[in-house]
Amino acid sequence: MHVMILGAAGMIGRKLVEKIAREPQALGSAVSRLTLVDAFQPSIPEALRSVTTTLTTDLGRTGVAEKLIETRPDMILHLAAIVSGEAETDFDKGYAVNLDGTRALFDAIRQQGLKSPYVPRVIFASSIAVFGTPFPSVIPDEFFTTPLTSYGTQKAITELLLADYSRRGIFDGIGIRLPTICVRPGAPNKAASGFFSNILREPLVGRQAVLPVNDNVRHWFASPRSAVGFFVHAATLDTSKVGPRRNLTMPGLSALVSEEIEALRRVAGDKAVALIKREPDPVIERIVAGWPTQFDASRASALGFRAETDFDQILQVHVEDELGGRIA
């Protein structure tokens, strides 16, 4: 099976590649060819070196999508995106990559299928940012998408395209609406939601972190391990059970910032919590205020998707996967 991962140098992309290296049949079949694509050079685990090609390119550039699909991958995991905060501040860049590049990708698949039969599985990383206020305290699967950010709008439009291209048999698509992934490893990025991870990750290694919102902000979370699990499960999912509504809100954990902090206290003590510095940021507060806080993800759960049920579990995943099981 030829697998292509777009956004392979990103956090979830890297962890997916590591998962395939550890479990060669994680996506349902052995990977005979792996193509890793990103604007930054993706890394290749030694176990996959013989079957892997990397491409450093920008999906938003004219002609890139067509070149990628010329190789006719059997499975495409589309994780490439301009993140929420950057998409909000750089309107042109956000639309060029998140919408125009993705539309070009989808249509390149269509053009290949016109030459000879070609219907790949396409798994798209969407976001709970497709929802915007006003909404109920618990958002059901049937709730309509009304995004209040450019990033959310780009994701919502792509969801419609994915459903339509799947309906027409151009590809077999699944949209994965990710919760905020926490705790994200590595350096802070430009995502507006980055502070949710920062206030845990940095104190756990003795560094100060900034909290730009108040403690009673509630949000929807899952760990990086669960995020990888979502895509792995989607790779082998019987899509006849999904029906025409191809975009699924993933299960997760609804928690307050204060509950994050108390989980940190239980794991690392008061000294770690004292490293959180409160600096209100009106821009971040405005963006976060328009985000949903809790979901009824019954459809995804019934289809076998799983996530954590408390913040102690999320922190434990980070300690095990990123800190070698120990806190400094």
Provide the percentage of residues in the chain whose pLDDT is more than 90: 89
The verdict on whether 151 is a catalytic residue reads: yes
Give CA–CA dist 256/293, Å, rounded. 9
Q: What's the pLDDT band for 237 if we cut at 50, 70, 90? A: very high
pLDDT (tens digit per residue) in 52-95:
999 999 999 999 999 999 999 999 999 999 988 899 899 999 99
Q: At what angle do helices 224-236 and 11-22 cross, to 10 degrees?
A: 60
Q: Please tell me the total number of residues recorded for the chain in this structure.
A: 328
Residues 6+ apart with CB under 8 A from 71: 2, 4, 35
Q: Which helix (H) or strand (E) holds 66?
A: helix 64-69
Q: pLDDT, tens digit, for every residue of 90-131?
A: 999 999 999 999 999 999 999 999 999 999 999 999 999 999
Active-site residue (options: 95, 118, 151, 165): 151
Q: What's the CA angle centered on 188, arms 186 and 194, to 5 degrees?
A: 115
Residue 257 contacts residue 211 (beta carbons within 8 Å): yes
> Residue 214 corresponds to which tokens in the numbers above?
């108040």
Matching residue, tokens 């290949």: 112
Nearest by Cα to 243 from 328, 191, 302, 316: 302
Q: Is the pLDDT of residue 328 over 70?
A: no
Mean pLDDT, residues 26-32 taken together = 96
CA atoms of 127 and 307, how far apart (whole Å): 15
Q: Which residues pair with 173 in a beta bridge?
A: 122
Give me the domains of the chain, ranges plus CATH numbers.
2-179+222-249 (3.40.50.720)
What does the pLDDT look like over 290-320, one tens digit per residue?
Answer: 788 999 999 999 999 999 999 999 999 999 9
pTM: 0.94
DSSP state of 41: P
Phi and psi at residue 194, in whole multiples of 5°?
A: -60, -30
Contact indicator for 80, 101 with CB cutoff of 8 Å: yes
Query: What are the residues facing 121 on neighbouring strands?
Result: 75, 172
Q: How large is the average pLDDT for residues 140-154?
A: 93
Contact 87, 124 (CB under 8 A): no
Average pLDDT, the chain: 95
